Amino acid sequence: MQSLHLISLLLQYPTRDLQTVAGEIRQRLTADPALPQAGVAALDPLLTRLATADIYDCQETYVELFDRGRAHSLHLFEHVHGESRDRGQAMVDLRQRYLDAGLEPEGNELPDYLPLFLDYCSTLPEPAAREVLAEPGVVLIALAARLADKGSDYAPVFALLCEIAGLEMDEEAAKALPPAEDPRTLAELDAQWEEEEIRFSAEAAPDPAAACPQASAMLERMREPLPATPADRS
């Protein structure tokens, strides 16, 4: 599903290059018969803004939405593990999964960065791509609901991903993850990103996913390797 790569571009930090190709992205998504066209049409406000608005305004909106706090973080494990040590092993497992599929992640992004995960899914055959995309479904559904509540034009991107993955966006699923609020002041931002104390006692170390069985199951599925699939971007 090569269109997942195009969708991944929409979730990356806006650049002038993205503005230049926004129209082409719209055309290629519209022309893909594997995508629900109502969901693609719902991307129009975002694609139009990315193509026509001042690039600095687009970048400011992006940072305010995705980088200011954890509520809308594009790092999948952030919503499950936070900064706990368990997140590190989950990262290692997911990166190995990319390598087993013949992909070598580039740049400084962590393996759980959603656009990178979408790029990985885009190299898979369609049935496998849909199945793998559904693995972090609890996060995708929660982000779709949170962004919709915020009135963000990024919300339809997540709604489209949920539809591609065959996920039902009901109210119960949308609230499966613990609630998260973005900080309102710099002090709150510092407090939210403060590194948690490291404990070496197994008894003292809490399970950050214990309160969310759906999130725990998500992690187990994402750790299971798929048969190696050669990357094909031709």
Question: CA 158, 161, 163, 166: dihedral to nearest 10 degrees?
Answer: -130
Share of the chain above pLDDT 70, in %: 69
Question: Which pLDDT tens digit goes with each residue over 83-126?
Answer: 556 667 778 888 898 988 888 777 778 899 999 999 999 999 99
For residue 82, being part of any structural domain is answered with yes
Domain that holds residue 10: 3-180+205-223
Whether residue 232 is contained in a domain is answered as no
* Integer CA distances (angstroms), 202 to 93, 199, 217, in order: 21, 8, 21
pLDDT-derived band at 21, boundaries 50, 70, 90: very high
Residue 216 in domain:
yes
CA distances (Å), origin 8, targets 12, 87, 182, 211, 216: 7, 22, 23, 30, 25
Give the per-residue pLDDT at 88.
73
Q: Is residue 17 part of a domain?
A: yes
Question: What does the mean pLDDT of the chain come to?
Answer: 78
Indicate whether 202 pLDDT > 50: no
Q: What is the pLDDT of residues 47-82, one digit of tens each?
A: 999 999 999 999 999 999 998 878 899 999 887 755
The total number of structural domains that make up the chain? 1
Say which residue, 205 or 189, is predicted with more confidence: 189
Asked, for residue 104, whether it belongs to a domain, the answer is: yes
211 lies in a domain?
yes
Nearest Cα residue to 160 out of 44, 12, 16, 13: 44
DSSP assignment letter at 198: P
User: How many Å apart are CA 193 and CA 39, to the nearest integer?
Assistant: 34
Lowest mean pLDDT among 117-126, 140-149, 167-176, 184-193: 184-193
Q: Which residues contact 100 (CB under 8 A, 6 or more apart)?
A: 225, 226, 228
Residue 189 falls inside a structural domain: no
Q: Is residue 196 part of a domain?
A: no
pTM (predicted TM-score): 0.75
Cα 211 to chain centroid, rounded: 21
